[in-house]
Structure 1
């Protein structure tokens, strides 16, 4: 049975050491799970009984293309006006509890592993009708329309219903769960789940134009970020700017899995004098 880590909140005791793995550089950032306490949460307009850990946002020297929230809905919490930006597309991924998402008038009950893609202009609402808290990732991006290519359509699924694609020549040690066709140019972002079995590796330093957000759902690994090998575990978040070298080694004893964002399928924007 797949498990997903979700923040616990609270506040560390006064006796805890301050030293941690939190790192912020020009090439990457690591936000460890231990930093996601009550005092760093945000409240959102038109959301009730809701708080969010905002772990990425467009910012000079940080993320350029996306924002990422971990949203916690208390019982009877939710929103009938969740997205206030008409140009924003989004992905919702449930990591704890049962989320009710209404999409263009149709209700979907999304259990853990539930995934929804929400193109710009979509009419949607969310609510927690259960007696326990619901937690989900909400990844947002300003959609880049292309003349002659229609915008993608909304859909709801669950990762348990999608067979992972095994990477070539890895004997099953590295696989990716893809929610959209990689050749579909209507999509300008991919949010996938990457799984490494114990001992699995990225066997070279990937260096590419895509920006990344990686939230560790399960397990632990040693991850190469630029020139630094960093230990990461379930609940940690990593941001990698474009062209930041990356690789990893999954340490076990169980699988190492993360939710991965990247921007795709568009020309590089050119500066203007």
Structure 2
């Protein structure tokens, strides 16, 4: 399988400014052409590393998660990447090899490698290879549920999880689920959605869940809050709660994206944590 990985660089001075970046009250599209050297961030505690921060909490918009594309040069890494003990994470590797130590276990994740990192779990990462490694890092404050034990960390890969066809689609639309949807310990899912050429979401999904969608492969046309938007491998979409959404896969190959969504928790209406109350609208 192939996964789009940004290369940075800058456009030539002769190129036009025109691009496909869109910011609205309901959604944002960050096209791959925006992921340039000049917009990278260095992260405290990391060595030989840069990142593109493509989602973060913003008052009145998406409030549940942050998403980064992290690139580590050979010999780089971090002993304590997550500095907030209440924050869980998912790492998904798109290129190179990432050495991950979590809960005393060591794994080397290649392209398609996936790790769920439980809140409070000790973990570290390093690039022990001879080429850069790049991965998505999705972070969320874990929301405990009374009487349900918190989830534990695990490592798997895209190649090791069979996509599940959506009902009545004959495989034109399938989802690679790394967590059982019925497992209420998890308050977020990070899945891979795959459409075969011509496959579609045939209705305007309008729901409470926020989304981050990074296109890993192929191209498609997304319907976002009444607008038709073309997207391709390397583009990122950020959808607030209740943004109507549907899509068609453009072909000639599969259209695949990494999908974040917040799930499995009651709507909070009282209490000191106003972020939880505002997240739903």
Give the match's secondary structure for 2:159. Answer: helix
Q: What CA distance in whole angstroms lies between the structure 2 residues aligned with 1:61 and 1:258? A: 25
- Please name the residue that 1:46 is paired with: 45
- Please name the residue that 2:253 is paired with: 254
Contact kept, 8 Å, 2:223 with 2:244, in 1: the verdict is: yes
Identify if the C-alpha distance between structure 1 residues 31 and 184 changes in structure 2 by more than 3 Å, giving closer, same or farther. Answer: same
Q: Does 1:69 align with 2:72?
A: no
Q: What CA distance in whole angstroms lies between the structure 2 residues aligned with 1:269 and 1:243? A: 17
Q: Pairwise mapping of residues 253-272 of structure 1 onto structure 2 (< 5 A)?
A: 253-270=252-269
Q: What CA distance in whole angstroms lies between the structure 2 residues aligned with 1:252 and 1:269? A: 41
- Please name the residue that 2:225 is paired with: 226
Q: What CA distance in whole angstroms lies between the structure 1 residues aligned with 2:116 and 2:159? A: 16
- Please name the residue that 1:137 is paired with: 136
Q: What CA distance in whole angstroms lies between the structure 2 residues aligned with 1:174 and 1:147? A: 35
Q: What CA distance in whole angstroms lies between the structure 1 residues aligned with 2:270 and 2:14? A: 50
- Please name the residue that 1:80 is paired with: 79
TM-aligned CA deviation for residue 271 of structure 1: 5.1
Q: What CA distance in whole angstroms lies between the structure 2 residues aligned with 1:231 and 1:159? A: 25
- Please name the residue that 1:23 is paired with: 22
Give the match's secondary structure for 1:85. Answer: coil
Q: What CA distance in whole angstroms lies between the structure 2 residues aligned with 1:96 and 1:254? A: 20
- Please name the residue that 1:196 is paired with: 195
Give the match's secondary structure for 2:221. Answer: strand
- Please name the residue that 2:97 is paired with: 98
Q: What CA distance in whole angstroms lies between the structure 2 residues aligned with 1:271 and 1:250? A: 41
Q: Does 1:241 align with 2:236?
A: no
Q: What CA distance in whole angstroms lies between the structure 1 residues aligned with 2:111 and 2:19? A: 29
Q: Pairwise mapping of residues 111-122 of structure 1 onto structure 2 (< 5 A)?
A: 111-122=110-121
Between Structure 1 and Structure 2, how many residues are aligned? 272
Give the match's secondary structure for 1:34. Answer: helix
CA offsets, 1:177-222, max 9 Å, x none?
0001100000000000000000000000000000000000000000
Give every structure 1 segment of 4 or more consecutive aligned residues whose post-TM-superposition deviation is greater than 4 Å: none
Q: What CA distance in whole angstroms lies between the structure 2 residues aligned with 1:60 and 1:180? A: 29
Task: Give 5+ residue unaligned stretches, structure 1.
Answer: none
TM-aligned CA deviation for residue 106 of structure 1: 1.5
Give the match's secondary structure for 1:102. Answer: strand
- Please name the residue that 1:5 is paired with: 4
Q: What CA distance in whole angstroms lies between the structure 1 residues aligned with 2:112 and 2:127? A: 16
TM-score by length of 1: 0.98
TM-aligned CA deviation for residue 61 of structure 1: 3.8
Q: What CA distance in whole angstroms lies between the structure 1 residues aligned with 2:120 and 2:152? A: 11
Give the match's secondary structure for 1:39. Answer: helix
Q: What CA distance in whole angstroms lies between the structure 2 residues aligned with 1:146 and 1:167? A: 28
Q: What CA distance in whole angstroms lies between the structure 1 residues aligned with 2:129 and 2:156? A: 20
Contact kept, 8 Å, 2:62 with 2:241, in 1: the verdict is: no
- Please name the residue that 2:59 is paired with: 60
TM-score by length of 2: 0.95
CA RMSD of aligned residues (A): 1.0
